[in-house]
Amino acid sequence: MDTPLVAVTGRRRSAAGLHTGPPAMDALEVDAYFSGYAAHVVAAGGLPLHVPGGVDAAAVMDRADALLLTGGNDVDPARYGAVPDAHTSALEPARDALEIALLAAARERGRPVLAICRGIQLVNVAWGGTLYRHLPEHADTRWHDVALSPDSVLAGLHGAGARVNSLHHQGVDRVGDGLVVTATAPDGQVEGLEAERLVAVQWHPEQLDDVPQPEFRWLVDAC
C-alpha cells in the first residue's frame, strides 16, 4: 500500500517577521502551520500534504487519503448566528470556507478526519452547532484531565481518561446534529466529538511529547 497522503490545513498571514529578506517582503503573505502537525503525521506513517488557501477542496480530497484540520483563530461568528465581540480574534473567513468545503468533500469520499482545537470548533459549526464565545477559565488553564466515553475512538486510544493541554478560549456550546460528545473536561465543557470516520479534540496532541500521539496513528491507520 502507498503511504497515506494526509491533507493538512493552515493559516495565511503576513510574512513580516518570518523572513530575512528586504523590508519590501513584509508585504507578502505566507501559508503555514506549526511543524508538530506534520511531524506527528510522518511519525504515524503518513505523508503530509499542505493545503494552501484558494485551492479546490474537491480536487484536494480526490487525491488525499485523510484530512487534518489544525488550530488557529476563531471561526467567524456569523456562521453560527452571532457577531464578533471584544474577545474575538482575527477572523479568517476564506479559511473557514475552504475548511468547511474540505470537510464536505472528505465526508462525501469517506475520508477519515482529525480536527484539532479550532478544528473541533469548525466541525461543530459545520454540523450546525454553536460555540461559546469566550471561556477564560480554559484559556488560563494549561493542563487538565478529560473523561472519555466508553466505546469511543478516543477511549480506545487513551482509556477512560487522559491528561491534556489547554490552549483555547472558545469551545463547543450546542452540539451539531450527528456529532457525539466523547470527551469532557471536569467542568463539563466538551473536549471531544466523534462521528463516522471523524475524531475532533479541543486539545493539541501535536504539542505533546510522545510522537506520534495516538490520534495521528488513528488517522493514518483509518486510511
What is the per-residue pLDDT across 131-167, written as a single tens digit (0 to 9) for each?
999 887 776 668 999 999 999 999 999 999 999 998 8
Average confidence (pLDDT) over 80-107: 93
Distance (Å, whole) CA 139 – CA 133 = 12
Q: CA-CA distance, 14 to 28, in Å (whole number)?
A: 6
Per DSSP, the three-state class of 82 is: coil
What is the C-alpha separation between 198 and 208, in angstroms, rounded?
21
Q: Does residue 118 register a pLDDT over 90?
A: yes
How does residue 13 score in pLDDT terms, banded at 50, 70 and 90? confident
Task: Tell me: pLDDT of 128 over 70.
Answer: yes
Q: How far is CA 209 from the centre of its chain?
A: 18
Mean pLDDT over the full length of the chain: 94
User: Cell 523590508 identifies what position?
Assistant: 23
What is the structure's pLDDT at 14?
A: 84
Catalytic residues: 117, 204, 206
The CA distances from residue 74 to 2, 123, 175, 218, in Å, are 35, 13, 17, 26
> For residue 1, what pLDDT is reported?
63
Q: Return the closest-CA partner of residue 84 out of 131, 15, 28.
A: 131
What is d(CA 211, CA 223) in angstroms, rounded to the nearest whole number?
Answer: 19
Q: Which of the four CATH numbers 3.40.50.880, 3.20.20.80, 3.40.50.720, 3.40.30.10 does domain 5-221 have? A: 3.40.50.880
Closest CA to 73 of 121, 28, 37: 121
End-to-end CA distance of the chain, in Å?
A: 10
Which amino acid type is present at position 145? D
